[in-house]
Amino acid sequence: MTSEASQALQQAMQAFEAAWQAADRAALNAALSSLQQIDPAHAWTHFARGMLARLDQQPRQAISAFEAALRAEPQSWEAWLVLGQLQLQQSQLTAAIQSLAQASRLRPDCLSAWESLVRALLLRGDHTTLQALLQDLLHPDWPGQLPQKHLFDPEHFQRLRCIWASYYLLNRFAQPDCTQAEINALLARWGQSFPASQPPALHLPSRKAERPLHIGWVSNEWFSPVAQRIFWPLLAFYDASNYTVTVYADDAQSGEMPARPRALKQVHHSKDWDTEQFCRQIHADAIDILVDLSGLFNPLRLDALRCRPAPLQISAATNPPFSSGLPEVSWRWSDKLLSPPEMCTAYLEQTHYLPSFIGWQAPPESPEPVAPPCLHNGFISFGALASANKLNAEVLQLWGQLLARLPEAQLHLKSPLYADPPSCEAILQSLTAAGCQRRQIHFESGDGSLQGQLAFLKRCDILLDSFPYAGALSTCDAFWMGVPVLSLRDSRRLAQCMHQQVGTASAWLADSPEHWLALGQQAARQPAQLNTWRQQLRPMLLASPIGQIEQHAAEQQASYRQIWRQWCLSDYNS
């Protein structure tokens, strides 16, 4: 290429970048047209095509364009970064990890590459690699030796360190070798490692014990199935004359509630708010009690909670069922099965006990339970809805051993992340190493919709639970469809809490791995008993404290009033 052509190419790329910053679509098309005329095979031309395809929400065309850019220029860290982020969005986790690792290697000061790489490893469930990487990123000396330290963004890095520390905690929680003592130590270290970014922002409202209260709910999964099934329905049973709720939705994708209950005052789409803006809005909304629904899953808001923008703060995040680790959070909701009093002595918060740690509402327009498939298939169909980050080596080994003892049985695993063939192959290898056959394993990706999940459960005889990171919403859905859930008792206590609340512990909660295998084999040989469970589980769930959502809403409101009265009588900030 002549120097004139090279200069023209650079000018066209600069024009494309300027048009991108200005969000000028006509100028973007014009710049791309110039690049194609100058050199259609150049890396910059492919890169620009990829960016436009990404803007048009055409991921396949965008991925193809960035791959072409990298064939032309393998050292383009920007192309590796955007390619990896696109692959992550498309659940191509293995390819995303490879691309993002390349971007991090070529440009180690690019925090977006590290952030996306950590997320990809977490979603893929690669616990070993993730833990090693997070230990490096959280080391006090990192990023001191970066070759391009002058390009580093310290403020962005501090925000990411909080996220990475949260992921490290969640990664350890999912491992059976993580003891309660280690969990308490990690949570105690949290507050020391991540002090509040600004002085406490507490505002002092009127201390009238019986006045109407303004409640704030903060969550980064407000528009997810979890919130739609567990939190949204509660508002229909709130006494709007005494309790109004403002929601701070930090979700990556926004949405609208299908119905607006009287108790819901407002929904703020707060994803892009920093701590200062968040605290200002809490003050403007005159929030009396702020409830954190996401806990470690929303680490950016942990900084805001440390600034204590509301007089009282409650942690309602129960999976994992542990302390927030923040001294500014005064209370946590739980139940005595999930968090016995002796277990809470190491927590910073006081525990307010509800009859159940969650309230669950039956999904509308759901199908009736049908006879278990084994009655006409002639073999047992196990199912699993656990995401990959819950499938540790011990879980896969135990599942593989059960299938090896029942060679005609089938295991169906469902998750949107199973669209990544290498991830499925890694799970397959772990299962078959325990003795089962590849023909026994089936993966389903799908869209993760509720109707798709209920249809999947209809095709299952028994749902296999993960450990120690057990399922809550998936267990409720399985019981609703008459599908028993085979669980293992563990130190996190979530599985035993679910079974004890519904009344299924004696039949489906194992005390040891060998007991778990024995229960699974026994159930597989008694299809008529499975048919009995098919008819009993739905009414058992509805009769349990979990299924009494109106009562759960009443207990929540009573807890607000109780702790508010205590605060009004206290001399804190008097």
> What CATH number is given to the structural domain containing 542?
3.40.50.2000
Instruction: Give the model's pLDDT for residue 229.
Output: 85
pLDDT of the residue at 397: 97
pLDDT at res. 4:
80
How many separate domains does the chain show? 3
Percent of the chain whose predicted confidence (pLDDT) is above 90 = 68
Closest by CA position to 50, among listed 100, 85, 5, 102: 85
Position 165 in a domain: yes
Give the model's confidence band at 400: pLDDT under 50 very low, under 70 low, under 90 confident, else very high: very high
Distance of CA 451 to the CA centre of its chain: 20
Residues in the chain: 574
Residue 178 within a domain: no
Q: Which of 392, 382, 548 is nearest to 467 (CA)?
A: 392
Reported as a pLDDT band with limits 50, 70 and 90, residue 325 is confident
234-249, pLDDT tens digit by residue?
999 999 999 999 999 9
SS (H, E, C) 100-141: HHHHHHHCCCCHHHHHHHHHHHHHHCCHHHHHHHHHHHCCCC
Does 532 fall in a domain? yes
Print the domain residue range for 499: 374-547
pLDDT tens readout for residues 118-168: 999 998 989 999 999 999 999 888 887 787 766 788 888 888 888 899 889
So what's the pLDDT on residue 212?
Answer: 97
199 in a structural domain: no
Residue 273 domain-assigned (yes or no): yes
Burial class (CB in 10 A: 0-12, 13-18, 19+), 72: middle
The model carries a pTM of 0.91
The mean-pLDDT minimum among 11-25, 511-525, 545-559 falls in 11-25
With 90 as the cut, is the pLDDT of residue 258 above it? no
With 80 as the cut, is the pLDDT of residue 319 above it? no
User: Does the pLDDT value for residue 413 go beyond 70?
Assistant: yes
pLDDT tens digits for 444-479? 987 778 888 999 999 999 999 999 999 999 999 999
Do 155 and 219 fall within a single domain?
no
- The answer on 436 and 336 residing in a single domain is no
Domain shared by 385 and 339, yes or no: no
Read off the tokens for 158. 């501090």
Residue 539 binned pLDDT confidence (cut-offs 50, 70, 90):
very high
pLDDT for the residue numbered 432: 97
Same-domain pairing of 341 and 384:
no
Same domain, 439 and 498: yes
pLDDT value at position 196? 82
**Where residue 573 falls among pLDDT bands split at 50, 70, 90?**
low
In a domain, 198, yes or no: no
Instruction: Check residue 365 and report its DSSP letter.
Output: T
Indicate if 232 and 87 belong to the same structural domain: no
Show the CA angle centred on residue 277, arms to residues 273 and 281, nearest 5°.
110
Residue 43, token pair as written in the block: 């890396």
What's the chain's average pLDDT?
91
Q: Mind listing the pLDDT tens digit for each residue in 174-204?
A: 899 998 888 888 888 877 788 887 887 777 7
Q: How many helices (H) and strands (E) does the chain have?
A: 23, 13
